[in-house]
Structure 1
Amino acid sequence: MTELDVRAYATIVRFDTVYVQHFKCNLGMIRYSYPVLHNWLKGMYFNDEAYRETTDFRQIKENYTKSHFDINPKGITPVGPWPDVEEGYEKDWSKIHAGSIDMPEVLEAEKRFG
């Protein structure tokens, strides 16, 4: 485990749980659009007890949704996604293939702005 693993975990574990809904980062989710990152996240969460014990998804969700009134004025906290972290860590990384954004609108925007 490296310092990068520790630092990246704090952001990536929050992405599907908070950033997709709360900050409207919704062109893809770690669990569906980024299989390599998703597998890495599952490995960190399920293979290291310290990550499971110190990751409180309820607290993460409520901290963002109940404190950013300019983004979420009613303080609504979503239940999902469920499960917080999917099971099924793949030890053989050669079986994991990089994902891609395959939404036609996004691909067209990339062409216009790229």
Structure 2
Amino acid sequence: MELAQVMEQKSFVIVGDTLNEEKYAGKIKRAMLEHGYQVQCVGKELPSIDDVSGEIDIIDLCIRADRGLTLLQACSKPFKSVVIQPGASSEALVQYLQAHGIPYIDGCLLMGLKQYRS
């Protein structure tokens, strides 16, 4: 899935410190909501991805790679793809995604909004 396709989705889970508007997770949450996306947040707001209500299209990792990996490993809910924000990747995370056939991209939702939703 390319970034343009990601931005066509509706339901996003932002994983990170979304309560702090100075952190990227908080900035992404605010921008996605302003553009009309359905956004739920894991990390500071919900403890796990499985606590998200409804369907999930995209999981956006904006958190330390080891924590993101742990949350994905515990997730039993279906989703379409993962976006790994800059600085949130690791070899272990990528290996897990590849080994489980989970589609992912290295990208930035803020850039996606600028390129495809301005």
Confirm or deny a common fold (TM above 0.5): no
Structure that is richer in strand per residue: 2
When Rg is computed on C-alpha atoms for both structures, the one with the higher figure is 1
Structure that is richer in helix per residue: 1
Place the TM-score, normalised by the shorter chain, in its bin.
under 0.3
TM-score in terms of structure 2 length: 0.27
